[in-house]
Amino acid sequence: MPMVGARVSVPLGKQTCVGLVLAVEALATDTEHTFALKPVGEILDTTPLPDAHWLELLEWAARYYQHPIGEVLFSALPVALRSSKPLSKRMQKRLAATPVVAQTPPPSSLALTMEQQHCLQTIQQWQRVDTPRPVLLHGITGSGKTEIYLRLIAPLLADGKQVLVIVPEIGLTPQLLARFQQFFADTYIVCLHSALSDGERLQAWLEARNGKARIIIGTRSAVFTPAPQLGLIIVDEEHDSSLKQQEGFRYHGRDLAVKRAQMLNIPILLGTATPSLESLYNVQTGRYHHTLLKQRPGAARPPGLQIQDSRPFTLDAGLSPPSLQAIRTTLARSEQVMVFLNRRGFAPALFCPSCGWQASCQHCSVNMTWHARRNRLVCHHCGAEQATPSQCPSCHNPKLTTQGQGTERVELALQTLFPHFPVVRIDRDSTSRKGELADKLATVRSNEPLVLVGTQMLAKGHDFPNLTLVIILDIDHSLLSNDYRALEKLGQLLVQVAGRAGRADKPGQVILQTSQPEHPLLHQLVGHGYTPFARQLLEERKRWHFPPYGYHALIRASAGTMEKALKLLDHISHLLANSDNNLQRLGPIPAPLEKKANRYRAQLLVGGKQRATLHNALRQLLAHENKLPGRSSVRWSIDIDPVDLT
């Protein structure tokens, strides 16, 4: 008889699949309700993989995110455990191992500032209560939040507890890991993220499960890592949208971490320089504690931020003459510069100035991006590539031109303008090979004068002591976006990017180039800081009953034609209206990216003032899923608490 939590092989049609046992019940004897059942093929595990808490968390997540329990369970398991192949004897031994209760001696402590010490003591006092509330640690960039993390962890390790640390990006993991290994030299630490091989990920998972790993550091999926002695969860950069899974099981790593801490009745700390509006709202309503770090340690001070009107200037690869002069002056002082542009490639558009032809993707409703080094056109949505034409396919004009700029173009321009200084580009294209990101970051940390060009990979977590100038390009599309979350994301991005400057004893400067210098929210952010900016956005959300003052679900559909996608969503909209006419329904409408990978996309945004009302309506919708007309030719999904409306 298989145990709850064990894997079994299950015959389905002509194939054999892997299942996870959730319950064992006696077979009904009432012949009227019995039906033919096949026996399980093989019991793959003699020891349950997860514990009861793990199953409880995932069953709750399946209900909350309106997603099939099977997909939820297997998305939370390492890939190596999703197949019917039995574990090796070595892995079985680790799986069956008795949880280790290891006590770690406290590390030697470095001096904290008075502000950090007060913050630490306040958080520790909150954690001692019988039912700890989540704590939002709001510290400006460079204020030493990581030092608070380390000192909160130390006494828990000494008591034999485990700690889970969740970060939004793989790129932040090596730096954080190095800092933790330095501070906790005698502690076993594992990392969990998608860059690991299946074997490496399974080994780390098992070592966390049997208690050998005392600190687990990972990206959003690490929230599912079993840890029998878990005593604290830390979510770093809690505002970051990378914590939300955008495909398949669309969970939010931060929100599930809060739920897990609540189930285990353990403390959870959410750290950020730019809190999400949801977290600020939870502070206002008393659900979260709130503590501040307003100063950088030592001589470091927040950088000065200047809004620069780019309209009067002729730009060189997006850079104005004053910005180029600022780069020149900074390099002359043997300091470093960052040019931030959140767009890869050389140029986002290749077109013919004679007839107006544009290089567009055949599979998506977007232009292809030109990558000059490879001389290829690439779609950044479906991944399609093609050779760059030598002439216009329409009028045969040999003089094609580009519009706009990406990081590759900025890099090439800066190499020409500043030939005596290294130009280091960090984006997904330049760091695709293993070890490239670490090598480039090591070059920057050598503190030699250079220019760093990059995307949002550089926006958070990195500490470059000799970086004193940051120039931010092309943020106007966010100021003019019709996505109600765009301004929140922009404010967070600007503050995080600006925070890379002046983190040591040298003063920092930030230049924000824009063609919208009079935008009121931009002046609110620059003149008064992130918190008043966020409060103003909260007031706007409150007027419209938008999150966090209401609750949203985004229903997406894709089909071979737009008509089919819209027709299905229209039927869903009517079903929801019949279920509860108090629900707000926006759409159905074509998605901002109407066509992707040869499928036309539409969406319906559903909102309610009460979470229970919205979820009850969605459950009724899923109960009638088989009756939806045309569903066989349309793919559709429900995204609870969406953070991306594209």
3-class SS of residue 234? strand
In which order are the strands placed within the sheet that holds 376-378?
A: 369-371, 376-378, 385-387
pLDDT at 109 over 60: no
What confidence score (pLDDT) does residue 413 get? 94
Please state which of the ranges 22-31, 163-172, 284-293, 625-634 shows the lowest mean pLDDT: 22-31
pLDDT band (50, 70, 90) for residue 270: very high
Note the pLDDT of residue 103. 56
Q: Which helix (DSSP H) or strand (DSSP E) does residue 410 occupy?
A: helix 407-417
**Contact (CB, 8 A) for 381 and 361:** yes
Rg of the Cα trace of the chain? 26
Q: Tens of pLDDT along 305-350? A: 889 999 999 999 899 999 999 999 999 999 999 999 989 899 999 9
**What is the band of 281 on the pLDDT scale with cuts at 50, 70, 90?**
very high
Q: Are 524 and 536 in contact (CB under 8 A)?
A: yes
551-640 homologous superfamily: Ribosomal protein S10 (3.30.70.600)
* pLDDT value at 31 more than 60: no
Tell me: pLDDT of 240 over 80.
yes
Q: Tell me: domain 114-293, CATH 3.40.50.300, correct? A: yes
- For the chain, how many residues are written? 646
| Per-domain boundaries in the chain | 7-86, 114-293, 304-346+405-540, 551-640
Q: How many angstroms separate the CA atoms of 375 and 355, rounded?
A: 22
Same fold, 114-293 and 304-346+405-540: yes
State the distance between the two ends of the chain, measured CA to CA, in whole angstroms: 47
Are 206 and 216 within 8 A, CB to CB? Answer: no
d(CA 515, CA 565): 37
**What's residue 557's pLDDT?**
97
What's the whole-number average pLDDT of the chain?
A: 89
Cβ-based neighbour number of residue 598 at 10 Å: 13
Q: What is the chain's percent helix, strand, coil content, to nearest 5? A: 35, 20, 45
pLDDT per residue as tens digits for the range 585-642: 999 999 999 999 999 999 999 999 999 999 999 999 999 888 888 888 999 999 999 9
Rounded to 10 degrees, what is the CA torsion of 228, 234, 238, 243?
A: -30
Distances from the Cα of 335 to the Cα of 43, 496, 502, 508, angstroms: 62, 20, 10, 10
DSSP 589-623: EEEEEEEETTEEEEEEEEEESSHHHHHHHHHHHHH
SS3 130: coil
Q: What is the pTM of this model?
A: 0.91
The pLDDT of 206-231, averaged and rounded, is 94
Residue 16 sits at φ, ψ, to 5 deg, of -115, 125
User: Quick one: CATH architecture of 7-86?
Assistant: 3-Layer(aba) Sandwich (3.40)
Q: What is the DSSP letter of 147?
A: H
The vertex-546 CA angle with 541 and 547, nearest 5°, equals: 95
CA distance 625 to 631: 8
Relative to beta strand 467-472, strand 336-340 is parallel
- Tokens found for residue 75: 């998305």
**pLDDT at res. 196:** 84
Helix, coil or strand: residue 367: strand
For range 259-263, the mean pLDDT: 97
Residue 235's pLDDT is 97
Contact partners, residue 161, CB within 8 Å, separation at least 6: 229, 230, 231, 232
What is the Cα–Cα distance from 125 to 133, expressed in whole angstroms? 11
Statement: residue 563 has pLDDT above 70: yes
Burial 309-326 (b: 16+ CB within 10 A, else e): ebeeeebbbbbbeebbeb
Residue with more model confidence, 394 or 29: 394
Q: Over the stretch 74-84, which tens digit does the pLDDT of each residue have?
A: 999 998 888 87
Q: Is the peptide bond before 302 cis (omega within 30 degrees of 0)?
A: no
pLDDT above 70 (res 28) = no
Confidence of residue 442 (pLDDT cuts 50, 70, 90): confident
Ramachandran region, residue 118 (left: φ > 0; alpha: ψ -120 to 50; beta: rest)? alpha
pLDDT band with cut points at 50, 70 and 90 for residue 194: confident
C-alpha–C-alpha distance, residues 16 and 40, integer Å:
10
Alpha helices in 97-197 (DSSP H): 114-127, 145-158, 173-183
- Rounded to whole angstroms, the Cα distance separating 138 from 119 reads 10
Overall average pLDDT of the 533-538 stretch: 95
The two counts, helices (H) then strands (E), for the chain are 18, 25
pLDDT tens column, 467-477: 999 999 988 88
Q: Give the pLDDT mean for 34-44.
A: 78
Three-class HEC string of 529-560: CHHHHHHHHHHHHHHHCCCCCCEEEEEEEEEC
Does the domain made of 304-346+405-540 have the CATH classification 3.40.50.300? yes
Please report which confidence band the pLDDT of residue 295 belongs to, taking 50, 70 and 90 as the band edges. confident
**Percent of the chain scored above 90 by pLDDT?**
62
Q: Which of 644, 645, 575, 557 is nearest to 616 (CA)?
A: 575
Helix 562-579 with 611-623: angle, nearest 10 deg: 120
